[in-house]
Chains A and B, each alone.
Chain A
Amino acid sequence: DAKTTQPPSMDCAEGRAANLPCNHSTISGNEYVYWYRQIHSQGPQYIIHGLKNNETNEMASLIITEDRKSSTLILPHATLRDTAVYYCIVEFWGTYKYIFGTGTRLKVLA
């Protein structure tokens, strides 16, 4: 199963862009990349997903490299409420189960 690698923690100043990297070098051509975040004691919350192209929604942007071996989640204007653990996930082709990594703990500083 394709695995993901993320830095364990990052800090970001409030109002600045937060750029969270992820490596998924063993991803298959038809496997999607998903990003979720988890705030303490809650279930993971969907942020964005993509296959090959860059994606943007009201929460974030997802940049996927051309070789698909890595991606970056961008929160354009981080707020204190964005403090959470962010998971980069590969959706396993076939049963569509999610393969979670260990996540990045993002702390937004006032």
Chain B
Amino acid sequence: GAGVSQSPRYKVAKRGQDVALRCDPISGHVSLFWYQQALGQGPEFLTYFQNEAQLDKSGLPSDRFFAERPEGSVSTLKIQRTQQEDSAVYLCASSLGSGGGGLTQYFGPGTRLTVL
């Protein structure tokens, strides 16, 4: 079956522009995660959804970052008034379950955001 897909794969924005990044998780997956990966670094957690509920947004770096998953499937990560430090690869992952640990996350290919 299809894996996690993300769009666009590449996004170039001018400083101050708003951007929206989309994630289509694997069908039926309850949990959805967003991570940010700076160049040469490991991914860092941003936020977590269980169905449509955002249960953890502790990793969002500022109030310019906003994520939603209104119907419990597709998710959008929005960044307002982009800054150069927002340049990174944004990864989405989904997992089938929602509790108990040992939940394997399946990652999408990521969206590479470059802010000029």
Contacts and interface: CB of A to CB of B under 8 A. Distances in A.
B38 to A, nearest CB: 11
A101 B42 CA distance: 6
Nearest to A102: B42
A49 B102 contact: yes
A75 interface: no
A87 B93 CA distance: 15
Contact of A43 (B45, B59, B99, B108): B108
B89 to A, nearest CB: 9
A32 B102 contact: yes
Given A43-B110, A49-B104, A97 B56 contact: yes
Interface string A14-46: 000000000000000011101010000111111
B101 A102 contact: no
A87 B109 CA distance: 16
B45 A98 contact: yes
A36 B104 CA distance: 10
Interface string B27-68: 000010101000001111100100000011001000000000
Given A96-B48, A102-B42, A46 B104 contact: yes
B108 to A, nearest CB: 5
A95 B55 contact: yes
Interface string A89-105: 00101111111111100
A32 B101 contact: yes
A80 interface: no
Contacts of B106: 46
Nearest to A88: B42
Given A97-B33, A99-B45, 6 more contacts: A36-B107, A42-B109, A43-B107, A43-B110, A93-B101, A96-B99
Interface of A: 30-32, 34, 36, 41-46, 49, 51, 87, 91, 93-103
Interface of B: 4, 31, 33, 35, 41-45, 48, 55-56, 59, 91, 93, 95, 99, 101-110
